[in-house]
Structure 1
Amino acid sequence: MSHQWMPASPCTDTCHSAYVRAGAVAVALRYVALVATAAVAVLLPLAVVLPAPRRRGVHRRYMLMVLRAFGVRVQVSDERGPAGEPGRGVLAVAGHVSWLDVLVLNSVDHGEYVARADLLDWPLIGRLARRVRVVPIDRGRLRDLPGVVDEAAERLRTGTRVVAFPEGTTWCGRAYGRLRPALFQAAVDSGAAVEPIELRYVRGDGTTETGVCFVGEQTLLASLRRTIHLPGVIAEVRRGPLQEPGVDRRELAERCERVVHGGHRREREVDVLLASAHVGSVAVVDRRPVPVQ
């Protein structure tokens, strides 16, 4: 059920970039690789016998395997600074572009995700979501939000790394939504550190690749097929400096938004502002290629 505060994005199917398809051989190999990764998934429960660090390593390598099967490579830069207190929970927040986001971020570091409830019902992706102990959230049920925040805070108190997408819905990667402050309350309540993450999908020349975005009226199957046919995608992950939660979730959200949306890029040209009166969101459009870090 929708409501006036439900996150919405002005991005549509028209946001998808015109793209050159990968060669037939490369596409065929990706389909074979995806079948192989689906078969390997049935063996993942065996990793439960391993110590936690090794088990997490197995899961991260598996996520990388799935991403490579889709033709996606991951590049990471780490600006977190000195490690925080041992055993302290961390709330990691990132912008939301695609169903790929959970795979990419889980290939970088372990975490338990706050994600759309119906993700658990998706083929293959749903199985992986259960592996990373998703905290399901139904954005259409506003009354459920306090319970989701409380669940996230409880996990943070136990030293867990919880990952969330505070935009609340997917955007195309050129336009962005505001980070909603509600989930930041979990960090304020638990005293957890917050890790803002900038996540971009780019082509080999550093320009934004919107072909991976999951927006508009498209189906999951159509999005999977289009991603497989892209000539190659680089997922850039910038792990920003850790933030102290403070006492004001809105101020905390604004601090993190500057990192998540690439406020550090002096070359960024903001030439279009899109406002959605329905949700009070503002989007910025980046039309200038940014070199791969």
Structure 2
Amino acid sequence: MNARPHAWLPAASCGPTCISAGSETSSRRAAVICRVALRATLTIVLLPTLPLLAVPLPGRSHLQRRYCRVVLRCLGIRITVSGGPIRNVPGVLVVSGHVSWVDVFAIGAVMPGAFVAKAEMIGWPGLGALARLMKVIPIERDNLRRLPEVVHAVAERLRAGRTVVAFPEGTTWCGLAYGPFRPAMFQAAIDAGRPVQPLRLSYHHRDGRASTAAAYIGDDSLLTSIRRLVTAQRTVVHVRVESLQLPGEDRRDLAARCEAAVRGTGTSAVTARGQRHALAA
């Protein structure tokens, strides 16, 4: 998944070692079978209701939030939200670190909007249909020439008062490590003159330890990622709402400010460090 045919293409250093570092102790086989059976049944029951997200009814954003929470629950994930209030401001660019396809549901449960996601996601069974219903803005990560078109599309959505969600790292990381925010997508907020809402996402076991159960990295297939998630005892995703950031005029400064908010560090520290690997701590 994280092949790097071009030098400019973002790539994470995460791999199997990261997954084992954030894994949990094994459960009894019978308990695992029961969990998987229950979660698979709930997911199958939920799938036929997907088209409801495309119905232009009043309060659709509330329906999307509830739906995403139900999807998380079916996958064995609980969600907690903390931090500042969610501002009811039209045309906001939402940014966060990127760990997994699960991020879409975690953020959708808090601030639903149109996601900027890799183009191949549109072709995924089940999730691809949901991506189309949620009006995902596809980005071809290996085609730099198409990036201005994506930035323009995001800016147009923001000008129209829509919420757009982007992952500025450009690729997924394990949750124990992370990469720098790329500034390109922040140009859309500057062009549209709209604020940016940073969210801090983190995945944990029930005892509070960092979890890699939701990670989608390296050579993971979607099936492998789902299997690891649904067999876990329980995963908790924490979503912290950070301070709203005004766009300013410099996309690199805006990217640095938002990254500092997401990491919980000072702007100067984020700018200076480049990439930081949490496993080295």
TM-score, with structure 2 as normaliser: 0.89
Match of 1:215 in 2: 217
Which of residues 236, 239, 244 is equivalent to 1:237?
239
Structure 2 CA distance for aligned equivalents of residues 224 and 281 of structure 1: 31
Structure 1 CA distance for aligned equivalents of residues 9 and 280 of structure 2: 28
Match of 2:9 in 1: 6
Correspondence 1:246-285 to 2 at 5 A: 246-263=248-265, 282-285=275-278
Match of 1:100 in 2: 102
Q: Do the aligned partners of residues 58 and 145 (structure 1) sit closer, same or farther apart at CA in structure 2, a change above 3 Å counting?
A: same
Structure 1 CA distance for aligned equivalents of residues 242 and 26 of structure 2: 33
Structure 2 CA distance for aligned equivalents of residues 114 and 287 of structure 1: 30
Structure 2 CA distance for aligned equivalents of residues 97 and 231 of structure 1: 19
Deviating above 4 A after TM superposition, structure 1's stretches of 4 or more consecutive aligned residues are 42-45
Q: Does 1:26 align with 2:26?
A: no
Unpaired runs of at least 5, structure 2? 267-272
- The residue type paired with residue 81 of structure 2 is V
Q: State the 1:36 CA deviation.
A: 0.9
Correspondence 1:1-293 to 2 at 5 A: 2-16=5-19, 17-21=22-26, 23=31, 24-45=33-54, 47-48=55-56, 50-51=57-58, 54-80=59-85, 83=87, 87=90, 89-263=91-265, 282-285=275-278
Alpha-carbon deviations, 1:104-148, whole Å to 9, x = none?
Answer: 100112211111011111111111111211110011000000110
Q: State the 1:283 CA deviation.
A: 2.4
What secondary structure is seen at the aligned counterpart in 2 of 1:210? coil
Structure 2 CA distance for aligned equivalents of residues 177 and 263 of structure 1: 14
Alpha-carbon deviations, 1:21-64, whole Å to 9, x = none?
Answer: 5523222111111111113324544x43x21xx22212221111
Q: Do the aligned partners of residues 182 and 43 (structure 1) sit closer, same or farther apart at CA in structure 2, a change above 3 Å counting?
A: closer
Structure 2 CA distance for aligned equivalents of residues 173 and 27 of structure 1: 23
Structure 1 CA distance for aligned equivalents of residues 83 and 253 of structure 2: 23
- The residue type paired with residue 11 of structure 1 is C
CA RMSD of aligned residues (A): 2.0
Q: Is the 8 A contact 2:39 2:76 kept in 1?
A: yes
Unpaired runs of at least 5, structure 1? 265-279, 289-293
Q: Is the 8 A contact 2:53 2:60 kept in 1?
A: no
Q: Do the aligned partners of residues 246 and 132 (structure 1) sit closer, same or farther apart at CA in structure 2, a change above 3 Å counting?
A: same
What secondary structure is seen at the aligned counterpart in 1 of 2:226? helix
Q: Do the aligned partners of residues 44 and 113 (structure 1) sit closer, same or farther apart at CA in structure 2, a change above 3 Å counting?
A: closer
Q: State the 1:284 CA deviation.
A: 2.8
Structure 2 CA distance for aligned equivalents of residues 14 and 137 of structure 1: 29
Q: Do the aligned partners of residues 221 and 281 (structure 1) sit closer, same or farther apart at CA in structure 2, a change above 3 Å counting?
A: farther
Structure 1 CA distance for aligned equivalents of residues 26 and 113 of structure 2: 33
What secondary structure is seen at the aligned counterpart in 2 of 1:27? helix
Q: Do the aligned partners of residues 106 and 79 (structure 1) sit closer, same or farther apart at CA in structure 2, a change above 3 Å counting?
A: same
Q: State the 1:263 CA deviation.
A: 2.3
Q: Do the aligned partners of residues 9 and 200 (structure 1) sit closer, same or farther apart at CA in structure 2, a change above 3 Å counting?
A: same
Moved more, 11-20 or 183-192: 11-20
Match of 2:269 in 1: none
TM-score, with structure 1 as normaliser: 0.85
Structure 2 CA distance for aligned equivalents of residues 66 and 37 of structure 1: 8
- The residue type paired with residue 278 of structure 2 is V
